[in-house]
């Protein structure tokens, strides 16, 4: 099999490529250049896809005896990931750029180019498993190492993409074993720290970076009754669940902390309230994708587990499709769910698919009979 190994320059993709070579596949390593201005990407242990990473990936490929190339995907990355990130925040939503990168770069642009060049599959160092179902179709499942499981950020993959995806680390019980294997193989990345945070925000200051891109848009910080509590310089710098940095001059009447409950980009208002007001009992969205053919029961109602953060815990819920919208009713409320987050649906260990959250129903807006309470009732 001809395999294109996506080499991030980290230990995981290094070992994944090594295993493909050891399995006898015809492997070529490729590193993605995601910026024409390397200084705009994070460096060192806080980085991903930097010049340092490209050099590390090249050294690993030399050690493995496989060809190595750097492909320039900077323009596509800017359009599909960076600009999307700016647009989503400007619209009052909270996106996940790593998930978007998997969706539009690694398993769209990269996979398309790989197939066009005659490769059979793309291999990455993600912690997830591909399982072949009884009908021969491939399914995406959680990794053996739950602490490192990355099936959430791969939840955007379609069934067609899964047919050409390889995740050699999926059955490895721990990251420590991957590092030990890299050391045994003499790979230079064996002790390289993990990367984290957003690669295209070089100093880690997301609010400052967004302000530089979209400017300031002063507005009010209000409570749920509409009373003005303070002011801000840009609603795009806030996200649902945020507690710090609100700069409200006076405490709540009960002395408890306030949290961001809603961001209203049209009116430039940021709505704040008590912690319990963050609880939601239903989430829904129309931008969905399925990791293969979904069970027919999703149209009438199917009990599943749902995860709304990359490092969050899955929670029991019931999903149904209503007029083209994916609606998930939670068994127990979730706290601080923001529009723009991705909700990944699981049936056991299997990823069914995902959707981008467009709306949610706050748990405290429902009366005991399930009816929606009025704004006046909420404020009283």
| Active site (catalytic) residues | 101, 199
Q: Six-digit token pair at 375?
A: 């704004």
* Residue 43: HSE in the Cβ half-sphere, 13 Å Cα cutoff: 7
* Residue for token pair 């990473």: 53
Q: In whole angstroms, what separates CA 65 from the centre of its chain?
A: 33
Looking up tokens 């002790």 gives 191
Give the burial string for 261-277 (b: 16+ CB within 10 Å, else e): bbbebeebbbbbbbeeb
Type and span of the H or E element at 183: helix 175-184
Distance, first Cα to last Cα, the chain: 66
Beta pairing, strands 121-123 & 165-166: parallel
> Distance between CA atoms of 113 and 127, rounded to whole angstroms?
23
Distances (CA, A) of 75 to 72, 108, 110, 208, 349: 8, 14, 13, 23, 36
Task: Kindly write down the DSSP assignment for every residue of 54-69, as one continuous string.
Answer: HHHHHHHHHHHT--EE
> Rounded to whole angstroms, how far apart are CA atoms 10 and 54?
10
Neighbours of 93 (CB within 10 A): 20
Q: Tell the residue number behind the tokens 């019931």, with chain if given.
A: 318
Q: Are 328 and 342 in contact (CB under 8 A)?
A: no
Tell me how far CA of residue 45 lies from CA of 48, 59, 183, 194, in angstroms: 8, 18, 18, 6
Is residue 216 a contact partner of residue 234, using CB atoms and an 8 Å limit?
A: yes
Q: What is the token pair recorded at 307?
A: 């995860």
- Token pair of 206, please? 């997301």
């Amino acid at each position: 099999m001809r395999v294109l190994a996506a080499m991030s320059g980290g230990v995981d993709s290094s070992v994944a490529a090594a295993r493909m070579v050891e399995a006898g596949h015809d492997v070529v390593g490729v590193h993605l250049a995601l910026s024409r201005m390397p200084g705009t990407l994070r460096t060192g242990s806080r980085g991903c896809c930097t010049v340092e990473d490209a050099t590390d990936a090249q050294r690993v490929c030399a050690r493995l005896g496989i060809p190595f190339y750097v492909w320039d995907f900077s323009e596509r990355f800017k359009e599909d990931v960076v600009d999307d990130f700016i647009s989503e925040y400007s619209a009052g939503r909270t996106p996940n750029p790593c998930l978007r990168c998997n969706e539009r770069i690694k398993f769209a642009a990269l996979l398309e180019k790989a197939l066009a060049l005659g490769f059979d599959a793309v291999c990455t160092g993600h912690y997830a498993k591909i399982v072949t179902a009884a009908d021969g179709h491939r399914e995406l499942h959680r990794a053996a190492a739950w602490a490192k499981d990355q099936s959430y950020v791969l939840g955007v993959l379609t069934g067609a993409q899964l047919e050409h995806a390889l995740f050699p680390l999926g059955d490895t019980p721990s990251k420590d074993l991957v590092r030990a294997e890299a050391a045994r193989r003499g790979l230079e990345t064996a002790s390289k720290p993990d990367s984290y945070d957003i690669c295209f925000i070089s100093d880690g200051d997301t609010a400052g970076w967004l302000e530089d891109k979209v400017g300031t848009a002063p507005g009010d910080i209000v409570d749920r009754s509409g009373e003005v509590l303070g002011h801000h310089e840009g609603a795009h710098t806030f996200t649902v669940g945020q507690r710090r940095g609100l700069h409200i001059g006076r405490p709540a009447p009960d002395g408890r902390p306030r949290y961001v409950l809603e961001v209203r980009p049209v009116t430039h208002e940021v709505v704040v309230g008590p912690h319990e007001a963050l609880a939601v009992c239903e989430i829904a969205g129309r931008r969905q994708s399925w990791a293969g053919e979904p069970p027919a029961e999703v149209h009438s109602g199917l009990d599943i587990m749902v995860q709304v953060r990359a490092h969050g815990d899955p929670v029991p819920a019931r999903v149904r499709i209503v007029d083209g919208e994916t609606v998930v009713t939670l068994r127990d409320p979730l706290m601080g769910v923001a529009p723009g987050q991705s909700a990944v649906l699981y049936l056991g260990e299997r990823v069914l698919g995902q959707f981008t959250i467009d709306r949610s129903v706050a748990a405290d807006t429902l009366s005991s009979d399930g009816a929606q309470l009025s704004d006046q009732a909420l404020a009283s």
